[in-house]
């Protein structure tokens, strides 16, 4: 049973921990709640046109794109390559990049690969994501590349695969995903 005093100490400790990472706080403050909704505001564009607009940065970045801080290395129909250099905001207690960050990067790359194939008015939502971790991703081990491609694009569903490789082309993580096309 936790006493009231113990709970206050725990909450105060947690609050202190958050304040000791000012770079995390600055990332959160930079989120633009009025960012462009690419599915709603730009539905008149094809998926490739929306993706190229997003990659160009013309509308700025917000949310996960800001946090992951990736770059677009290449965009082709059904294929995307992102560049990623991990920073202190991405690591866990063991100083390796957190699995959730790696899954998020793979999800982003696979989603972008699918977006490149969508017609005007179409958008998608990921309904399944499976990630396997092969070797640690660490600060200074990059640049890392996040490669993704669409394996199958049907009328209502698509399947994608992705992988993260290090600067020596060694496999660090793989993922597969299924999306519903709306």
SS3 80: strand
C-alpha 136/C-alpha 123 separation (Å) is: 33
Classify burial at 93, counting beta carbons within 10 Å of its beta carbon; exposed 0-12, middle 13-18, buried 19 or more. exposed
User: Which strands, in side-by-side order, build the sheet including 144-153?
Assistant: 71-76, 79-84, 144-153, 157-165, 171-181, 124-133
C-alpha 28/C-alpha 56 separation (Å) is: 22
In tens digits, the chain (182 residues) has pLDDT values of 444 444 343 433 333 333 433 443 344 444 454 566 776 788 899 999 999 999 988 887 777 888 888 999 999 999 999 999 999 999 999 999 999 999 999 999 999 999 999 999 999 999 999 999 999 999 999 899 999 999 999 999 999 999 999 999 999 999 999 999 99
pTM metric for this prediction: 0.80
């Amino acid at each position: 049973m936790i006493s009231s005093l113990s709970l206050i100490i725990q909450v105060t400790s947690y609050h202190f921990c958050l304040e000791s990472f000012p770079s995390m706080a600055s990332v959160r403050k930079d989120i633009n709640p009025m960012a462009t909704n690419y599915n709603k505001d730009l539905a008149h564009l094809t998926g490739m046109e929306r993706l190229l607009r997003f990659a160009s940065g013309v509308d700025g970045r917000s949310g996960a794109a800001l946090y992951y801080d990736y770059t677009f290395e290449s965009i082709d129909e059904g294929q995307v390559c992102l560049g990623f250099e991990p920073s202190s905001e991405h690591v866990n207690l063991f100083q390796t990049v957190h699995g959730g960050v790696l899954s998020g990067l793979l999800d982003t790359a696979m989603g972008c690969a699918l977006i490149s194939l969508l017609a005007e008015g179409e958008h998608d939502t990921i309904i399944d994501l499976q990630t396997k971790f092969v070797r640690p991703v660490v600060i200074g081990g990059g640049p890392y590349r996040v490669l993704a491609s669409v394996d199958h694009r049907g009328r209502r569903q698509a399947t994608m695969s992705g992988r993260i490789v290090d600067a020596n082309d060694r496999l660090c993580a793989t993922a597969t995903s299924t999306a519903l096309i709306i």
